[in-house]
Amino acid sequence: MNTIIKNILTFLLVLAVAVPPVLSSQQPPVLAACYNNRLQEGLETCLRELKLDKAAERKKLSVALVDITDPEQPLLAAINGDRMMYAASLPKIAILLGAFERIARGEMQLDAATQEQLTRMIRNSSNRAATEMLNRVGKTFLADLLQSPKYRLYDPQNNGGLWVGKEYGKAGAWKRDPLANLSHGANAFQVARFYYLLETGQLVSPEMSREMKEILSKPAIQHKFVKGLKSRPDAEIYRKSGSWRQYHADSAIIEHGDRRYIAVALAEDARGGEWLSRLILRLDDLIRQFHS
């Protein structure tokens, strides 16, 4: 049985302490409780058909898929979803969150220069912009925010999550993640959860979530998920990817017609970029078939 399934009960127990009680039926559900057998079977079939199932068995590929066509009833599937992997530039989304937390507290201004810096960090994946913004946000502040009860996007009791423990440059790591010793780490489930919180207005505030989503639009780098969906120009993608040596990562909210979904994939293989381009097409088909 996939390890993410085995950890759901533990995760929910932690969240019961960390998250305030549900105030109304409109509050979005806890994503870990939304595992769907049919979607899981479809995801596993996709990997077999693409001949990526062996890579997943070797823990060289992690995938999370969340159908958010109805965001109040998300459907989750994952393979190696709780496995920490090196994610290169993908964790820059955590810096984006940290910046908007500072802005909401009145500790930073969303002026034209800051907007432009955040946009270059995400759309163009500028390492210089990411390092400057990380230092503006504060490394300790960001690490504490990711582990905070408010978000728990990095949970050391439940297989980690998003982590930024190093500037995006030649400087050494200031603090590697406690579980996998990674400088820029992620697991697919927590990245998917980041996007679900974003989509449902739970990152900072609904207004700030909309601002962050806009920055994630119009990706300037045309590889991985973007390359794969090039044949489907009507698909809107809100995305952050990462690449370094044999490590390839991509993550996105994809809106295609009346369907919406979150896709996250992390690969450790020289062919990983090509894997992800092929994978996103099959995931797009899977979500379409799921609603047919």
CATH topology of domain 3-16+28-290: Beta-lactamase (3.40.710)
pTM (2 decimals)?
A: 0.91
Domain boundaries in the chain? Answer: 3-16+28-290
DSSP classification of residue 172: P
Helix (H) or strand (E) holding 286: helix 272-290
Question: Would you say how long the chain is, in residues?
Answer: 292
CB 75 within 8 A of CB 32: no
| Digitized pLDDT (tens) for each residue of the chain, 292 residues in all | 454 444 443 443 334 333 333 333 467 899 999 999 999 999 999 999 999 999 999 999 999 999 999 999 999 999 999 999 999 999 999 999 999 999 999 999 999 999 999 999 999 999 999 999 999 999 999 999 999 999 999 999 989 999 999 999 999 999 999 999 999 999 999 999 999 999 999 999 999 999 999 999 999 999 999 999 999 999 999 999 999 999 999 999 999 999 999 999 999 999 999 999 999 999 999 999 998 8
**Rounded-to-10 torsion of CA 24, 14, 140, 119:** -50
The amino acid that residue 283 corresponds to is: L
The amino acid that residue 142 corresponds to is: L
Specify burial of residue 53 (Cβ count, 10 A radius: 0-12, 13-18, 19+): middle
What whole-number distance in Å separates Cα of residue 94 and Cα of residue 185?
A: 11
DSSP classification of residue 232: -
